[in-house]
Amino acid sequence: MNSLTFPILRLLADGQFHSGEALARHFGVTRATVWNALQDAEALGVKLFSIRGKGYRLPQPVRFLDRDAVMTALGGEAGKFTLEFHDRIASTNSYLMQQAATGREHGACVVAELQTSGRGRRGRAWQAGLGNSLTFSVLWRFDCGAGALSGLSLAVGVALMRALRELGIADARLKWPNDVLHQQQKLAGILIELQGDLDGPSAAVIGIGLNLRLPETLRKTIDQPATDLHTILGQPPDSARGLGTVLRHLAGALEQFDREGFEALREEWMAHHAFDGQPVCVHMPDGRQIDGVAEGIAADGALLLRTEQGTQRFSAGEVSLRAAT
User: Which CATH architecture is the domain 5-57 placed in?
Assistant: Orthogonal Bundle (1.10)
* pLDDT category of residue 125 using cuts at 50, 70 and 90: low
Catalytic residue among 119, 173, 175, 186: 186
Q: Which of 141, 118, 123, 152 is nearest to 45 (CA)?
A: 118
Averaged pLDDT, 3-32: 96
pLDDT of amino acid 198: 80
67-270: what CATH class? Answer: alpha beta
Averaged pLDDT, 247-266: 97
Strand pairing partners for 193?
205
Averaged pLDDT score across all residues of the chain: 92
Distance CA 34, CA 28 (A): 10
The sign of the dihedral angle between the CA atoms of 119, 121, 126, 132 is negative
pLDDT at 217 over 90: no
On whether the 279-323 domain is CATH 2.30.30.100, my answer is yes
Catalytic residue among 57, 80, 121, 266: 121
3-state secondary structure of 241: helix
For residue range 48-94, list pLDDT tens digits in order.
Answer: 999 999 999 999 899 999 999 999 999 999 999 999 999 999 999 99
Averaged pLDDT, 206-230: 88
* pLDDT category of residue 116 using cuts at 50, 70 and 90: confident
Averaged pLDDT, 212-226: 83
322 is known as an active-site residue: yes
Phi, psi of 203, rounded to the nearest 5 degrees: -135, 140
Averaged pLDDT, 6-18: 96
Query: What residue spans define the domains of the chain?
Result: 5-57, 67-270, 279-323
